[in-house]
Amino acid sequence: MAVVDSIPKETSTMALPGLGRTLVSAGKLGQKSAEEIFRKSQTGRTSFIAELTGSGAVSASDLAHTMSTAYAAALLDLDAIDTQRLPKGLLDAKICQDYRVVVLSRRGNRLIVATADPSDQQAAEKIKFATQLGVDWVIAEYDKLSRMVEANATTAAEAMDNIIGEDFEFDEATMEAANPDSSEATVAEVEDAPVVKFLHKMLLDAFSMRASDLHFEPYEHAYRVRFRIDGELREIAAPPVAIKDKLASRIKVISRMDISEKRVPQDGRMKLKIGADRVIDFRVSTLPTLFGEKIVIRILDPSSAKLGIEALGYEPEEKERLLKAISRPYGMVLVTGPTGSGKTVSLYTCLNMLNKPGVNIATAEDPSEINLPGVNQVNVNEKAGLTFAVALKSFLRQDPDIIMVGEIRDLETADISIKAAQTGHLVLSTLHTNDAPSTLTRMRNMGIAPFNIASSVILITAQRLARRLCVACKAPVDIPHETLVDAGFRDDEVDGSWTPYKPVGCAACNNGYKGRVGIYQVMPVSEEIQRIILRDGSALEIAEQAEREGVRSLRQSGLHKVKMGMTSLEEVLAVTNE
């Protein structure tokens, strides 16, 4: 009986990559030559295309023409491209280096990318995952492509050497170490130059890209930096995992935190000086996770409070109601909405308008986010016993005209705030509720008597932030009549007299959106609403009465912004729920 060998013999052919198979099929390369070049690339741990062009088996020009024909893709001479005009920040430099690609432009939700190897599915998937955009290949010669990639690929340290100068420095006070007892080795680690420059670059990039937050996130085998831009998180960089401890220590030092404590969350602040008279504050929060400390940095730009009420997006009638309320000598004005909905900016815009030499303003916050000269600001410190309630009691002995409470969290704070509003003070504060009518019932559930609510609260503003359509690329869109009606438009509003728009995307925006616009429900507490409160009515009854008095709901306010072409219907549906 013949014995059959159970181990298969090596076949004469190898599993060539797509590039090799294409060249063999086109007759540009023999099968054995392709296999030999592939074997060398695996042994030397280089890419097949680098080994191919380096060996001279196929010229870069011949390769580009062959791939252009085989994949019916446009052929581009990179020597004719002005590198200074290429889009920046769309794709991480490391991906460009690893896969030898250059982003040429963006068209809607797709990137136009130059490559020498359009068969590289791994590169396409990596780019798609990193950017959440589709990929359209343009063929370029490999040698020219490599030179351009290398020319554009500067490290974070090299980039910072070019941009850090006299106009970029940290406030000297924030440079003091948080823990004087730290060892010399720890301090040396914190002052590691590449880490310092990388952090500086991230802060500067975040500010220039109009980000609201920076997230530094450690994982087991990866480390990533994300920016929140126009309300959405975008991955910006993926530095080596080894940098995480040094970067965390550096941030904690300049934020006056304890760098030796890594087991509990910490909070701090730091400053960035831009130019001679521009200082940006940053609020820093650390959180111990499984693989290191996650750090979130909130950008607090004081100039945002000085934009004026017109820049916030209030409609004329809404603005009039708000201005009338804050001009009253006493009473309570509440701003409600989820975290990140712009409540602080709205409050500080009002305070900036009220901030005059003849007015005494005191604020209690946790922590104070925007520094406003002329306003007495207090940071709540619960560990030290300085709670909102304690601060408020102290304010009432400081002869205030206007009091701002960062957030009404408990019954004691609410009671003192209401008493202040009833005794000749204007009180501004925030609550976390979904809309204006539900705020009044929430206060009732906290244990506040209906009479106190009705006699103190004069106006409630609920708000959301929606992404604003980019004026450079937004395009009209045909939305069915039924869809518009289901969204909340009345039949008589869907008459064809206005045009809805959709996001498209261009080099100047973020997926078709640029900036954000406020959506507001501004509800004065009228006599009729006071009667509903006194008889312990529901939020639904209050909402119905407010609608009869001409108060738009959040959804209606958002739909009005759609009619004006400021945002898209999808965005309004996402940020408002009815």
Residue-wise pLDDT for 67-105, tens only, equals 888 888 888 888 888 777 788 778 877 788 888 888 888
Counting beta carbons within 10 angstroms of the beta carbon of residue 173, is it exposed (0 to 12), middle (13 to 18) or buried (19 or more)?
A: exposed
**521 pairs with which residues across the strands?**
462
Contact call for residues 294 and 287 (beta carbons, < 8 A): yes
Task: Tell me the C-alpha distance between 317 and 324, whole Å.
Answer: 11
Least confident among 152-161, 173-182, 189-198, 391-400: 173-182
* Averaged pLDDT, 261-289: 84
**522 pairs with which residues across the strands?**
461
- Does the CA dihedral 506-510-513-515 come out positive or negative? negative
What would the two tokens of residue 389 be? 């309630």
Q: Residues with Cβ < 8 Å from 535, sequence gap 6 or more?
A: 450
Q: Is the pLDDT of residue 43 over 50?
A: yes
> In the structure, what pLDDT confidence band is assigned to residue 27 with cuts at 50, 70 and 90?
confident
E-strand ranges in 163-322 read: 168-170, 211-218, 223-229, 232-237, 266-274, 278-289, 292-300
Q: Please give the DSSP secondary-structure letter assigned to residue 172.
A: G
Nearest to 516 by CA among 463, 576, 468: 468
Nearest to 313 by CA among 354, 280, 341, 353: 341
Task: Tell me the C-alpha distance between 522 and 293, whole Å.
Answer: 40
Task: Tell me the C-alpha distance between 291 and 202, whole Å.
Answer: 21
Answer CATH for 18-153 from 3.40.50.300, 3.20.20.70, 3.30.300.160, 3.30.70.1380: 3.30.300.160
Q: Is the pLDDT of residue 395 over 80?
A: yes
* Beta pairing, strands 102-107 & 376-379: unpaired
Task: Tell me the C-alpha distance between 535 and 540, whole Å.
Answer: 14
Q: Is the pLDDT of residue 526 over 80?
A: yes
* Beta pairing, strands 402-405 & 426-431: parallel
* Bond into 367 cis (ω within 30): yes
> How much is the pLDDT for 110?
87
**CATH no., domain 158-172+192-300:** 3.30.450.90
> How much is the pLDDT for 276?
59
**111 pairs with which residues across the strands?**
106, 135
Task: Tell me the C-alpha distance between 296 and 479, whole Å.
Answer: 39
Least confident among 67-71, 249-253, 338-342, 487-491: 338-342
Q: How many CA atoms lie within 13 A of 350 on its CB side?
A: 29
Contact call for residues 578 and 467 (beta carbons, < 8 A): no
Q: Is the pLDDT of residue 128 over 60?
A: yes
Contact call for residues 338 and 432 (beta carbons, < 8 A): yes
> How much is the pLDDT for 529?
94
**How far separated are the first and last CA of the chain, in Å rounded?**
80
Supply the pTM of this predicted model. 0.64
Length of the chain: 578
Q: Is the pLDDT of residue 179 over 50?
A: no
Q: Where are the domains of the chain?
A: 18-153, 158-172+192-300, 304-465+516-551
What CATH class has 304-465+516-551?
alpha beta
Three-state DSSP state, 321:
helix
Q: Could you give the percent of the chain with pLDDT greater than 70?
A: 88
CB atoms within 10 A of CB 352: 18
Sheet containing 110-115: which strands, arranged edge to edge?
102-107, 110-115, 134-139
Where residue 298 falls (left for φ over 0; alpha for ψ -120 to 50; beta otherwise) is beta
Q: Residues with Cβ < 8 Å from 172, sequence gap 6 or more?
A: none
- Determine phi and psi for 391, rounding to 5 degrees: -60, -40
Task: Tell me the C-alpha distance between 336 and 439, whole Å.
Answer: 8
Q: Is the pLDDT of residue 494 over 60?
A: yes
* Bond into 357 cis (ω within 30): no
> How much is the pLDDT for 257?
92
Where residue 148 falls (left for φ over 0; alpha for ψ -120 to 50; beta otherwise) is alpha
Least confident among 29-33, 201-205, 310-314: 310-314
Q: Which residue has the higher pLDDT, 574 or 92?
A: 574
Using alpha carbons, list the distances in angstroms from residue 6 to 3, 9, 340: 9, 9, 65
Q: Is the pLDDT of residue 417 over 50?
A: yes
H or E segment and range at residue 244: helix 244-254
In the chain, the amino acid numbered 487 is: A
What would the two tokens of residue 94 be? 């490391």
Three-state DSSP state, 357:
coil
Task: Tell me the C-alpha distance between 138 and 47, whole Å.
Answer: 20
Report residue 538 CA to chain centroid gap. 36
> How much is the pLDDT for 527?
94
**168 pairs with which residues across the strands?**
274
> How much is the pLDDT for 363?
92
Nearest to 52 by CA among 34, 27, 77, 28: 34
Q: Please give the DSSP secondary-structure letter assigned to residue 332.
A: E
* Averaged pLDDT, 106-113: 87
> How much is the pLDDT for 305?
58
> How much is the pLDDT for 93?
75
**429 pairs with which residues across the strands?**
334, 405
Least confident among 203-217, 302-316, 338-352, 433-447: 302-316
Q: Is the pLDDT of residue 109 over 90?
A: no
> How much is the pLDDT for 187?
47
